[in-house]
Amino acid sequence: MGTLFTRRSTLLLLLAAGVTSACAKPKFESYSGPEVTRIEVHKSTRRMYLLHHDQVLRGYDVDLGFAPDGHKTQEGDGRTPEGRYYIDRRNPNSAFYLSIGISYPNTADRAQAVTRGVDPGGDIFIHGTPRAFRRARDWTAGCIAVTDREMREIYAMVPMRTVIDIFP
């Protein structure tokens, strides 16, 4: 009776802690390969690459903003920025599964927005894809979207301050 009670108690403790199955996919992965030193996004081909210097480590199909042609110039334009930025934040509790922030707007983006009298926008991320958008194309407000599985990998591989080059 004591062994049964101990096993049952252990199971209840595991369930209470949120450990429901050995098959459950962990939200966070670890990565011990070559350092990701740069990210390239090619908007025209909807491809993103994680690189170690000039060596491609991984490639992903991506979705972009709902109006993907051209550089983002203001809040609500639906465009994904173009240019050189860096990864400036990480959000493990994102509404889009996991996300890593892109440093848009930079100084030049803010200056052009002031000149035009508009808000340049912000909160541009690489993030996962909610179920409702899994079959949509270019559905974000200007972000770069990948599958949740891919986002787990990217979140593990990409360190803070990584350069990201976004090409037309």
Give per-residue pLDDT as tens, 102-134.
Answer: 999 999 999 999 999 999 999 999 999 999 999
Domain assignment of residue 105, given as a range: 35-167
What is the rounded CA–CA span in Å between residue 8 and residue 1? 11
Residue 25 above 80 pLDDT?
no
**Residue at 111 is within a domain:** yes
**Residue at 131 is within a domain:** yes
**Residue at 7 is within a domain:** no
**Residue at 60 is within a domain:** yes
pLDDT exceeding 70 applies to what percent of the chain?
Answer: 85
What is the rounded CA–CA span in Å between residue 45 and residue 78? 18
When pLDDT is cut at 50, 70 and 90, the band that residue 11 belongs to is very low
**Residue at 152 is within a domain:** yes
pLDDT at 10: 40
Residue 15 above 50 pLDDT?
no
- The CATH number of whichever domain residue 77 belongs to comes to 2.40.440.10
Nearest to 88 by CA among 118, 61, 126, 54: 126
What is the rounded CA–CA span in Å between residue 130 and residue 60? 17
**Residue at 143 is within a domain:** yes
Nearest to 144 by CA among 127, 162, 168, 119: 127
Give per-residue pLDDT as tens, 29-50.
Answer: 899 999 999 999 999 999 999 9
Q: What is the pTM of this model?
A: 0.83
**Residue at 78 is within a domain:** yes
Give per-residue pLDDT as tens, 42-83.
Answer: 999 999 999 999 999 999 999 999 999 999 999 999 999 999
Number of domains composing the chain: 1
Within 10 A of 83 (CB to CB), how many other CB atoms are there?
Answer: 14
Better-scored residue on pLDDT, 25 or 40? 40
**Residue at 8 is within a domain:** no
